Structure 1
Amino acid sequence: MIEAPDLTAARARLLELIKELAVVRGKVILSSGAEADYYIDLRRITLHHEASKLVGVVMLALLDEAGIQGVQSVGGLTMGADPVGTAVMHAAADADRKIDAFVVRKAQKSYGMGRQVEGPEVRGRRVVALEDTSTTGGSALAAVEALARAGAEVVAVAVIVDRDTGAKERIEAEAKVPYLFAFSKNDLGLDQ
């Protein structure tokens, strides 16, 4: 695990970058169909040269601080979760820990090996479903369902930013796993 002063600095810098690069003001329609006065475009963070590394460090620490033990693989529904899983995998490697990443397709392939969960095998492994952000929890729940069908043991769902729109409650009720987030919309100054 990263030392507290370094983690504090990493969290502060990541929050600064999210506010600067990812928060877009104005009316938008979210993937859930809901309308919002702002959009949190976290791909501007997860695919950014500096922020990506910070995402990995902060999300790995989030799992550790929550006591989520023995995680062997992380990932989620493509595309928002893909760079988050990769960032966590690299942060774990930097900490001399072995955590793989996976990608959950929106639908099972009808060709090749016919997989919906791509990457190293998840069957029998302790996994965390990741997302960049969640509004209704639908994408994370789709990933959890696909992982369960693939034989994984889902131990948590974790997101970078929680929009405080019911995803936490829905995921914890339906998936019966903890829902963790690194930052709230209030942390971003979006408390309206």
Structure 2
Amino acid sequence: MDDRTLAADINAACRLTGTFTLRSGQVADTYFDKYLFEAQPALLERVAAAMVPLLSDDTELLGGLELGGVPIATMVSAKTGLPALFVRKEAKTYGTCKLAEGPEVAGRRVTLIEDVITTGGAVRDATRALREAGAIVETVVCAIDRSPEGTNPLDDVGLEVRSVLTRADLDAAAAIE
């Protein structure tokens, strides 16, 4: 697959300009509305296909983060046969009261699946919670890494970030259009 083509297609589908407050509280003039590519089956499939080679070889479970990571993790699961796990922002207060829906995580290697990472707040929270539940979490694979180039926003929790596309990839695609 040609990553420049994927970058151009993702950029065209989901780049919005204006004034946006991110989850981190930062204000940005560009926003990548991941739901605009996740809602397009062909584009979602291409993102998932690009994620497969980024998975750690020892991955046992794919942890899709609520909400945007869930459709991607489901598609990657379908491509690899690895079971998916759906990680909530907060544990339910009823029923099973679980944070992570799906197979048991204790002692298993979970690769997190996320849509967009800027500061990594949601991934950091999920990593800590899954580790408390006994999971081994060392890697997150994201569709778009918009953190500053050359930095790992999740170093503080010992998480390796692997991305299909970076902000620089999408900016380069936008410059060509």
In the other structure, the counterpart of 1:33 is 25
Please give the alpha-carbon distance, in whole angstroms, between the structure 2 residues aligned to 1:129 and 1:87: 14
In the other structure, the counterpart of 2:161 is 179
Aligned length: 174
SS of residue in 2 equivalent to 1:189: helix
The alignment's TM-score, normalised by the length of structure 1, stands at: 0.82
SS of residue in 2 equivalent to 1:71: coil
The alignment's TM-score, normalised by the length of structure 2, stands at: 0.89
Greater RCO, CA 8 A, separation 6+: 2
Counterpart amino acid of residue 59 in structure 2: V
**Post-superposition CA distance 1:68-105 (Å, at most 9, x none):** 2221111233112111211211121xxxxx31111111
Please give the alpha-carbon distance, in whole angstroms, between the structure 2 residues aligned to 1:30 and 1:100: 30
Contact 1:76–1:140, Cα closer than 8 Å, also in 2: no
**Post-superposition CA distance 1:137-158 (Å, at most 9, x none):** 1011111112112221113012
- Select the residue among 111, 129, 145 that pairs with 2:112: 129
Counterpart amino acid of residue 101 in structure 2: E
- Select the residue among 75, 87, 93 that pairs with 2:75: 87
Contact 1:171–1:177, Cα closer than 8 Å, also in 2: yes
Alpha-carbon spacing, 1:47–1:122, altered in 2? closer, same or farther (3 Å) = farther
- Structure 2, gaps ≥5 residues long: none
- Structure 1, gaps ≥5 residues long: 1-7, 93-97
Contact 1:101–1:119, Cα closer than 8 Å, also in 2: yes
Please give the alpha-carbon distance, in whole angstroms, between the structure 2 residues aligned to 1:171 and 1:148: 14
Following superposition, the deviation at residue 167 of structure 1 comes to 10
Counterpart amino acid of residue 159 in structure 1: C
Contact 1:161–1:183, Cα closer than 8 Å, also in 2: yes
Contact 2:59–2:111, Cα closer than 8 Å, also in 1: yes
SS of residue in 2 equivalent to 1:170: coil
Cα RMSD, aligned residues only: 2.1
Percent identity between matched residues is: 32
Contact 2:114–2:142, Cα closer than 8 Å, also in 1: yes
Check if 1:170 corresponds to 2:153.
yes
Counterpart amino acid of residue 86 in structure 1: T
Counterpart amino acid of residue 189 in structure 1: D
